[in-house]
Amino acid sequence: MEKKAVIKVPVPGPKAREIVERDTKYLATGTKSAPIVAKKGLGVVVEDVDGNSFLDFTSGAGVINTGHCHPKVVKAIQQQAAELIHFAGTDFYYDVQVKLAEKLVKITPGKFEKRLFYTNSGAESIEAAFKLARWTSGRKQNIAFIGAFHGRTMGALSLTASKPVHKDRYFPTVPGVNHLPYAYCYRCAYKLEYPKCDMWCAKILDEVYFNAHLPPQEVAAIFMEPIQGEGGYVVPPKEFARELKKICTKHGILFVDDEVQAGFGRTGKWFCIEHYGVEPDMIALAKGIASGMPMGAMVFRKELDWKVQGAHSNTYGGNPVACAASLATIDVIEGEHLMENAKKMGDYLHKRLLELQHKHMCIGDVRGIGLMQATEFVKDRKTREVATELRNNIEEIAWKNGLMLLGCGRATIRYIPPLVVTRDQIDQAMDILDLSIRKALEK
């Protein structure tokens, strides 16, 4: 396979168009944004059914941290599938499930005894945390943030607040969720400037909300993404998480860290919250956990565990094949020093994005940690008016030229290649992005 983007026929090609037509006929309306029909993938490159090769700077929506079809992950899946595909780990026992649990409680932040609950997705991990927080605390209120994305199931959806379409026609959602503005310094909801603001976006919770209408003794948990994902890849100051944790400790509120998109080496550490020096009480995991196998987990303090059997469960959580893939994923991230590469290549990617910002006035902000980078597009740098249509046009031109990208927020593009990405691949991606911005501006 190619190691770079090579477009042989206009995208979508004839084979791709035929599959897209069939897909549209039989599959429910979803979130597909580009007519790229994948046939195979290796590392950072995806080949479509017409022979075109794309640089995947989406990592399969933040999932393929080890790269597409890493040989060690593929081998682990094959070996496990040949021995045992499923055995209801909710009712019985098998070793690979325990081996992975031992590994996950070791690498997740927190110098205390932990327990783990297996799920099948990020939304399920959040649902488990949502339920456990209520069950163990006896409290009925929760706090999340404007811009948050925690999933689309009804409990997770109640915490989500990134796009109106997610909730439209689904009300009423689960009651007892209160949303605060996130530490979005580029677009501060309070019209303040960091660091003069003294972290008002966090302190307002204790100084205003808890003294006005939300009794802190009724709050079970605060749910926070260490970098907001669908909300626009918003990176908060480190003090934000620290101040929230301080408030949680003061009032006996649980701190839930949503690492679904930011975890498993993406930011140069196992988990993004480690950059802030905060130990969460619960941590929701998925996406990068198993290199593409549907899997998630929720890790939590031992003393928070459900005290009775049957209070929460599922059928497929901790599936043997998914567990084997996850163990191999962790081994690859450690053995091939992918966190170090995420830091090194992330710094280089950030530098290249800053160069493009200097070149193109439509790039208002460049932000990110490790290989979790983003650019926010604006019509005017002074007014910071969002340029959603321009962002969308840039994405389209990019994939037509071999670079797969995903938008987030109102006018942001995220750049999240697999952690195996090379400098040459970043350079080609940035050349395509530069071309795409220039062509979009000409429209």
Q: What pLDDT is stored for residue 89 in this prediction?
A: 78
Q: Does 195 lie in the same domain as 325? A: yes
pLDDT average, residue stretch 121-125: 97
Work out how many domains the chain is built from and give that number. 3
266 within a domain of the structure (yes/no): yes
- Which DSSP letter does residue 43 get? B
pTM of the entire structure?
0.96
Any domain includes 310: yes
- Measured at the CA of 418, the angle between CA 345 and CA 164, to 5 degrees, comes to 110
Question: What is the Cα–Cα distance from 292 to 399, expressed in whole angstroms?
Answer: 22
Q: What does the alpha-carbon distance between residue 333 and residue 262 come to, in Å, rounded to a whole number?
A: 14
Domain of residue 389: give its range: 346-365+384-399
pLDDT for 108:
98
Nearest CA-CA partner of 222 in 309, 282, 306 = 282
Compute the distance between CA of residue 27 and CA of residue 20 in angstroms, rounded to an integer: 10
Among 44, 120, 102, 108, which Cα is nearest to 321's? Answer: 120
CB atoms within 10 A of CB 103: 16
**Inter-residue contact 357 to 363 (CB < 8 Å):** yes
Q: Per residue in 379-403, pLDDT tens? A: 999 999 999 999 999 999 999 999 9
Residue-level length of the chain? 443
pLDDT bucket at 114, cuts 50 / 70 / 90: very high
Residues 255, 319: one domain?
yes
Whether residues 245 and 181 fall in one domain: yes
Using an 8 Å Cβ cutoff, are 140 and 218 in contact? Answer: yes
For the segment 277-300, what is each residue's pLDDT rounded down to a tens digit? 999 999 999 999 999 999 999 999
The verdict on 156 and 43 lying in the same domain is: no
- Verify that 46 and 178 share a domain, yes or no: no
Residues 178 and 317 grouped into a single domain = yes
The verdict on 230 and 194 lying in the same domain is: yes
**Sequence-ordered list of residues with C-beta below 8 angstroms from that of 335, at least 6 positions apart, any chain:** none
315 within some domain: yes
- 137 and 18 assigned to the same domain: no
Write a three-state SS string for 277-326: CCCCCEEEECHHHCCCCCCEEEEEEHHHCCCCCCCCCCCCCCCHHHHHHH
Residue 184 lies in a domain: yes
In a domain, residue 404? The reply is: no
> Are both 83 and 49 inside the same structural domain?
no
